[in-house]
Amino acid sequence: MDTAASGHAAALWVGLHVFLLLTLSLLVVRLRQKHKVALGDEGIPELARAIRAFGNAAEYIPTGLAAIAVLALVGAPPLALHLVGLMLFAGRLSHAIGLSNSGGASIPRAVGMVCTWLAYIFSGVALL
């Protein structure tokens, strides 16, 4: 297997997820400044949703990236890394959009969770 190609695939998805987390973090900061809130959400639904969108991404992305990194280390085909990376990224982006727009159940949130779980399942099976 071409471990260099796997490493480059992993680097792409790690980089994209870093920027997704940065973007979600900046959205929280922007809303904190707008509403002059230093800690918590002070009952502002828009801020609460932004905080949870970031928090949820921060909870799910590290495990996905660890799986991508280990897949690259063991020389998994770059296509496998791209599939996991794309499913995870699409899932986390869709979930963040859905959660940012509504605190309730929504299609983007559901699609986001399914994509994330599929990325977890696919990577878990590939790692075993």
**pLDDT, tens only, 65-90:** 999 999 999 999 999 999 999 999 99
If one counts the domains in the chain, the total is 1
Over its length of 128 residues, how does the chain's per-residue pLDDT go in tens digits?
Answer: 678 899 999 999 999 999 999 999 999 999 999 999 999 999 999 999 999 999 999 999 999 999 999 999 999 999 999 999 999 999 999 999 999 988 788 999 999 999 999 999 999 999 99
SS3 annotation, the chain? CCHHHHHHHHHHHHHHHHHHHHHHHHHHHHHHHHHCCCCCCCCCHHHHHHHHHHHHHHHHHHHHHHHHHHHHHCCCCHHHHHHHHHHHHHHHHHHHHHHHHCCCCCHHHHHHHHHHHHHHHHHHHHHC
Distance from C-alpha of 102 to C-alpha of 50, rounded to nearest angstrom: 10
Q: According to the model, what pLDDT value does residue 105 have?
A: 85
Host domain of residue 105: 3-127
Domain CATH for 51? 1.20.120.550
